[in-house]
Amino acid sequence: MRFVKEYLVPRLIQYFAVIFCGITAVFLIPRFTGQDPILGVIAEIQAQGSSLDASAVRSLMESLRELYGLEGTLFEQYVAMWQRVIAFDFGPSFFQFPTPVADLLRIYLPWTIGLFVTTTVLAWALGNVIGGIAGYFSHKRWSKVFDAVVMVVRPVPHYIFGILVLILFAYVWQIFPVGGIMLGRSTVFNLNFILTIIRHSFLPALTLLILGGAIWFQQMKLLVQNVKREDFVQYAHTGGVKETRIIPRYVLRNAMLPQITQLTLALGQVFSGVLIVEMVFSYPGMGLLLYRAVTRNDYNLVMGITVLSILTITTAVLIMDLLYPLFDPRIRHR
Amino acid sequence: MKCKWGIMILMVLVLMFSLSFTAFAQLPGGIPREETMIADQLTGRVGMPDNFNLWAGWRNQDRGLQQLLLEPLWTVDYATGEIISGSAAEPPEYSEDLMQMTIHLREGVDWNDGVPFTADDVAFTIELHVDTPGLLYHGPMAEFVESVTVVDEHTVTVNLTRPSSRFHAHFLDRWGCLRIMPKHIFEDVEDVMAFKYNPPVGTGAYRLLDYDPAGFWTLWERREDWDRSPTGILYGEPQPQYVLFQWFESEEGKILAQLRNELDMAQHTEEGLRVILDRSDTARAWRRDWPWVVNIDPCITGILLNNMVEPYDNKDVRWALTLAIDIVDYAAIATDLMAPVSPLHLPPVPAYLEHFFLPMEDWLKEFEIDIGNGEMFKPYDPDVSQRILAEAEERGYPIPDDPDIILEQFGMGWWKYAPDVAAQLLENNGFSRNAEGNWLLPDGSPWKIDIVSDPPVAHHHMKNALAAAEQWRNFGIDATVYATEAYNDLTMMGDYSVSTTWPAAEPWGAGVDLIRTFDVWHSRNLTPIGETVAIGPGGAARWSDPRMDEIIEAMEVTDPIAEEEKTIELGIEALKLVIEEMPTIATYGYTGPIAYDEAYWTNWPGAENPYSQPYQHWPNLKYMLPFLEKAE
């Protein structure tokens, strides 16, 4: 009972408060930027010199305002927004009207999950394992060399690294494509499909893996260097416990705790996508979808993506909070 | 241990090998590269790839819808100055009282599903638009159309609600118009706004073959009965069997694709174009030598002033800002001297050079402005192109000596660099300078100009903004560039003073009718600050003049086809008024850095052979394809 009152309830209150504030902020911020989604659509039509005269534009603006549900006061729109959020219906995308936001998410989310989740988990695993071992054997020559290489790679921006990889593997050695994925609308799941996906995802995945892995490597190396000096590790050494047991059980396990939290938070970013990498490699994903939604003030689409993002991250954090005592006995609730 | 590492390296090599093997299958469905023309899609990834209903909203029509699928009644070609009758057999015919417009359709045209294209399709399209709010062209159709009469299978008469000599302009394709719908498809549709029009049916020479569900590409295949399309009837068989429109998210990716001969036609940044020409053995631009870029684009760039905001509501101030610009220096900053300057609020395309620029040259030379104290000043400088040439020569560029090419490449002339006159105009209006020589407004506060611009540095909006800021800073005004994604909203709502969004509405680019440019400045379209202007470019200047109203109203009752001379006279009259009042400052014609790859296709249009407008995203691409030739 004390667990529920002192541990669970405060966290649940915090959970719902964060969701409420987050969603309210997402509703308000685009509306306070001064940009009008209707004007965005008109501008897009006119940008290329499309010939619509004044009467056509006026009539179109009126129709769009009605169709987009932008009539009524801010409060009325706010209430309507909560009704939609609760029903999990974000309405149509303004810019891609009348396509429902849910359809857009259904198209782009699998691409981002495929690339982002795979590379994040792989980078996390490789970075932590290699970083952990390099941290434990930090006095060795190979560890120092590895550290120096990572030190050079890690600060390279995704854009520069991506272009570098693209030039190397798509221009100098032309084995990977530079454009979009050439699978049509009636895609069949076969070997060609798998190879095409891998071929198009290889370079963006490589970029994310190396740059992401470098960060995990450095973090883990530093954590392990600290943990290995702890008394209990020294005691295990003195007690004659074998190194093959000390590294995974005594050192890595303890150093892993903050990394697990960070992995959860990192995975929660899936809805934001990996904008820069998607741009460099013309990869279909959530990053570009969100970017376009923001720049064109597509309120519904911004809302759809960010609500999912807020829910995912806050839920992940809540679950982590609740499960953390299982990983770390020191904070186990009594 | 070593053995394990060896196995891992071997596995990576096998993976790389298998991926490199599949790398040869670049095109969807294994279609042959040598039969395919690949073009860059200008307007971005398609948001809803399965929706082709461009009558109901923005559908990235440059993914092939306007170039390959749909044939308009008429199309403007600014390169040749022609108005091409496509689905129509000839230009429109107006009754004497301008209350009726008759369209004669081309015979022998079929939709790509085999159904004949007839007058019923035209009548259905117009009537559906009259009845359906929400369709893009509902406004003008509801306003102008009284009724539609099908005279015979290939003749339609539209009865108008009031006299109009330009009703046909709604069907004249210039990157958009009301295109005719297939009646047999749409007549059974309940909700036309939600209808996806998939698969799309058109009268163009191509039909949809495939598309990327993520919106990166769209593939079209030539119809077997291409000779039943207006393009086929007019120009013969389009040469590529397939046309692929592909979007690249990054300029770098697009450059690499063209260097790999995987992209035949693409519009780059000017910097990107230079890289392509430098690194590729098979690429060419519109011009084979410097300045390479397309300089017959039908858009004029420049500076937009908010005529409802002080001090830009004062003609003397607008002229002072103009005369404070050294256009040669300006062109060097903005375009590295590659664009044609223009003193008129028109792009110097061939048709306008002939009908407006050259006929106005003597007037421009004699034109005077009042600079106070009874003094008059002739602001026009006819020697600007010579000064640009001298500067270009100094930079080591090859310069032409043919006067016609000089006129085409660098323009006719611009306004004098006369900072002293500019200062006099300002001082006459109570402006002053402080001890540092910086200008103060009449109320004594420092004059600061934030030039609102679109952020991409490669866009001419930004190039103009950077050049203008530099010129005005040199003159003593605290001018800075305010780059914001909200630039369009700010200008349309009037929440700006100076912007580099288009200084005038784009004209047709061909023919002699300039109403499209000036109509935005009729007082009926004047929009107060805080309300959105219905027509963005030019109209955002929020300027009008009773004399302009008169000219526009005279234009409205003049048939631009039957009364060409009168239409030209009215156009010149309007241009003179705009120069006199200078509500916005036109600087130079838009330049398009397009690159063609000759590895698979040749005989692209170019400055030496301008048989067609040059861009892949314009509807007229359809009229270029029959002239392409397969590379040896």
- Residue B483 vs residues B438, B478, B489, B500: alpha-carbon distances, Å: 24, 16, 13, 10
pLDDT score, position A289: 86
Q: For residues B461 and B323, state if they share a domain.
A: yes
The closest alpha carbon to A221, from A128, A126, A153, A124, belongs to A128
DSSP secondary structure letters along B601-616: EE---BTTB-SS---S
Burial of A95 (0-12, 13-18, 19+ CB in 10 A): buried
Domain boundary among B132, B151, B183: B183
Spatial distance between the Cα atoms of B290 and B298, rounded to a whole number of angstroms: 20
Q: Read off the amino acid at residue B171.
A: F
Q: Which residue in A59, A179, A295 is closest to B257 by CB distance?
A: A179
In the block, residue with structure tokens 């923005």: B58
The closest alpha carbon to B452, from B354, B551, B309, belongs to B309
Does the pLDDT at position B396 exceed 70? Answer: yes
Separation of first and last alpha carbons in chain B: 55
Residues of B in contact with A158 (CB under 8 A): none
Q: Which residues contact B123 (CB under 8 A, 6 or more apart)?
A: B148, B149, B150, B156
Q: Read off the amino acid at residue A112.
A: T
Q: Which residues contact A176 (CB under 8 A, 6 or more apart)?
A: A166, A169, A170, A199, A200, A202, A203, B19, B23
> By the 8 A CB rule, do B138 and B132 touch?
yes
Phi-psi region of B621 (alpha: psi -120 to 50; beta: other; left: phi over 0): alpha
Span B482-492, mean pLDDT? 84
CB contact under 8 A, B250 and A95: no
CATH superfamily, domain A106-327, is: MetI-like (1.10.3720.10)
Interface of B with A in 473-502 (CB under 8 A): 485-486, 488-490, 492-493, 495
Kind and range of the H or E run holding B494: none
Question: How far is B304 from chain A, CA to nearest CA, in Å?
Answer: 16
pLDDT score, position B417: 98
Q: Helices B327-335 and B460-475, interaxial angle, to 10°?
A: 140
The closest alpha carbon to B113, from B182, B176, B42, belongs to B182
> By the 8 A CB rule, do A197 and A190 touch?
no
Query: pLDDT for B192-249, tens place per residue?
Result: 988 999 999 999 999 999 999 888 999 999 999 999 999 999 999 999 999 999 999 8
Query: pLDDT for B576-597, tens place per residue?
Result: 999 999 999 999 999 999 999 9
CB contact under 8 A, B534 and A58: yes
Query: pLDDT for A277-295, tens place per residue?
Result: 888 888 888 888 888 888 7
Of A84 and B101, more confident: B101
pLDDT grade for B23, boundaries at 50, 70 and 90: very low
> By the 8 A CB rule, do B59 and B53 touch?
yes
Q: What is the ipTM for the molecules in this complex?
A: 0.77
ω into B311 cis (within 30 of 0)? yes
ω into B199 cis (within 30 of 0)? yes
The closest alpha carbon to B182, from B269, B129, B122, belongs to B122
Q: B57 in contact with A at a CB cutoff of 8 Å?
A: yes
**Helix ranges (DSSP H) in chain A:** 2-3, 9-32, 37-47, 54-67, 74-87, 101-112, 118-136, 141-153, 158-167, 191-227, 231-238, 243-245, 253-268, 275-280, 286-295, 299-327
State if pTM tops 0.80: yes
Residues of A in contact with B210 (CB under 8 A): 184-186
Span B396-402, mean pLDDT? 91
Q: Which residues contact A62 (CB under 8 A, 6 or more apart)?
A: none
Residue B406's DSSP bridge partners are none
Spatial distance between the Cα atoms of B303 and B497, rounded to a whole number of angstroms: 11
pLDDT grade for B159, boundaries at 50, 70 and 90: very high
| A212: Cα within 13 Å, side-chain hemisphere | 25
Measured from the Cβ of residue A149, the count of other Cβ atoms closer than 10 Å reads 12
Q: B132 in contact with A at a CB cutoff of 8 Å?
A: no
Q: For residues B221 and B161, state if they share a domain.
A: no
Spatial distance between the Cα atoms of B49 and B176, rounded to a whole number of angstroms: 19
CB contact under 8 A, B217 and A34: no
- Residue of A182, A192, A280, A295 for testing the chain B interface, max B β-carbons within 10 Å: A182
The reply to whether B49 falls in a domain is no
The closest alpha carbon to B39, from B630, B626, B600, belongs to B600
Spatial distance between the Cα atoms of A259 and B216, rounded to a whole number of angstroms: 37
> By the 8 A CB rule, do B136 and B83 touch?
no
Q: Is the dihedral of CA B79, B80, B83, B84 positive or negative?
A: negative
The reply to whether B15 falls in a domain is no
User: Domain with B139 in it: what CATH number?
Assistant: 3.90.76.10
Of B405 and B65, more confident: B65
Q: For residues B287 and B307, state if they share a domain.
A: no
pLDDT grade for B555, boundaries at 50, 70 and 90: very high
| B349: Cα within 13 Å, side-chain hemisphere | 29
Report domain extents, chain A.
Answer: 2-87, 106-327
How many interchain CB pairs under 8 A, A with B?
218
Query: pLDDT for B112-136, tens place per residue?
Result: 999 999 999 999 999 999 999 878 8
Q: Read off the amino acid at residue A179.
A: G
Q: For residues B402 and B503, state if they share a domain.
A: yes
Q: For residues B121 and B233, state if they share a domain.
A: no
Spatial distance between the Cα atoms of A70 and A66, rounded to a whole number of angstroms: 6
CB contact under 8 A, A63 and B210: no
Question: How far is A169 from chain B, CA to nearest CA, in Å?
Answer: 10
- Residue B185 vs residues A124, B121, B195, B204: alpha-carbon distances, Å: 54, 10, 11, 16
Q: For residues B584 and B608, state if they share a domain.
A: no
CB contact under 8 A, B519 and A52: no
How far from the centroid of its chain's Cα atoms is residue B599's Cα?
28
pLDDT score, position A110: 85
Measured from the Cβ of residue B291, the count of other Cβ atoms closer than 10 Å reads 25
CB contact under 8 A, A95 and B47: yes
**Nearest-Cα residue of chain B relative to residue A179:** B248
Q: Is B525 helix (H, G, I), strand (E, B) or coil?
A: helix
pLDDT score, position B16: 58
Q: Which residues contact B619 (CB under 8 A, 6 or more apart)?
A: B66, B67, B70, B72, B75, B173, B175
Spatial distance between the Cα atoms of B204 and B407, rounded to a whole number of angstroms: 37
Spatial distance between the Cα atoms of B241 and B36, rounded to a whole number of angstroms: 6
CB contact under 8 A, A295 and B485: yes
Spatial distance between the Cα atoms of A64 and A58, rounded to a whole number of angstroms: 10
3-state DSSP: chain B helix, strand, coil percent, rounded to 5?
Answer: 35, 20, 45
pLDDT grade for B12, boundaries at 50, 70 and 90: low
User: Domain with B572 in it: what CATH number?
Assistant: 3.10.105.10
Spatial distance between the Cα atoms of A327 and A260, rounded to a whole number of angstroms: 9
| B585: Cα within 13 Å, side-chain hemisphere | 27
- Residue of B11, B13, B22 for testing the chain A interface, max A β-carbons within 10 Å: B22
Per the structure, the count of domains in chain B is 3
| A175: Cα within 13 Å, side-chain hemisphere | 17
Q: Rounded to 5 degrees, what are φ and ψ at B219?
A: -115, 135
Q: Read off the amino acid at residue B68.
A: L
Residues of A in contact with B196 (CB under 8 A): none
The reply to whether B328 falls in a domain is yes
Residues of A in contact with B57 (CB under 8 A): 41, 97-98
Residues of A in contact with B194 (CB under 8 A): 98
Q: Which two tokens stand for residue A115?
A: 């690339």
In the block, residue with structure tokens 């006129």: B407
CB contact under 8 A, A108 and B214: yes
Q: B151 in contact with A at a CB cutoff of 8 Å?
A: no
Q: Which of A311-315, B23-27, B30-34 has the lowest mean pLDDT?
A: B23-27
CB contact under 8 A, B139 and A57: yes
pLDDT score, position A197: 83
- Rounded to 10 degrees, the C-alpha dihedral B539/B541/B544/B548 comes to -70
Q: For residues B260 and B326, state if they share a domain.
A: no
Q: For residues B460 and B408, state if they share a domain.
A: yes
pLDDT score, position A72: 76
- Residue of A51, A186, A194 for testing the chain B interface, max B β-carbons within 10 Å: A51
Residues of A in contact with B214 (CB under 8 A): 107-108, 111, 180-181, 284
| B402: Cα within 13 Å, side-chain hemisphere | 4
**Nearest-Cα residue of chain A relative to residue B533:** A54
Does the pLDDT at position B318 exceed 80? Answer: yes
Interface of B with A in 64-93 (CB under 8 A): none
Span A21-32, mean pLDDT? 84
Q: Rounded to 5 degrees, what are φ and ψ at A157?
A: -65, 150
Burial of A153 (0-12, 13-18, 19+ CB in 10 A): middle
Its domain, for residue B621, covers 30-44+199-294+592-630
Span A211-217, mean pLDDT? 92
Q: Which residue in A39, A59, A177 is closest to B23 by CB distance?
A: A177
Spatial distance between the Cα atoms of B617 and B44, rounded to a whole number of angstroms: 11
How far from the centroid of its chain's Cα atoms is residue A297's Cα?
21
The reply to whether B318 falls in a domain is yes
Q: Which residue in B172, B216, B536 is closest to A284 by CB distance?
A: B216
Spatial distance between the Cα atoms of B359 and B557, rounded to a whole number of angstroms: 23
- Residue A89 vs residues A19, A97, A308: alpha-carbon distances, Å: 17, 15, 12
The reply to whether B5 falls in a domain is no
The reply to whether B2 falls in a domain is no
Q: Which residues contact B40 (CB under 8 A, 6 or more apart)?
A: B245, B246, B247, B248, B254, B263, B265, B266, B267, B616
The closest alpha carbon to B61, from B245, B264, B265, belongs to B245
Q: For residues B138 and B250, state if they share a domain.
A: no
pLDDT grade for B13, boundaries at 50, 70 and 90: low
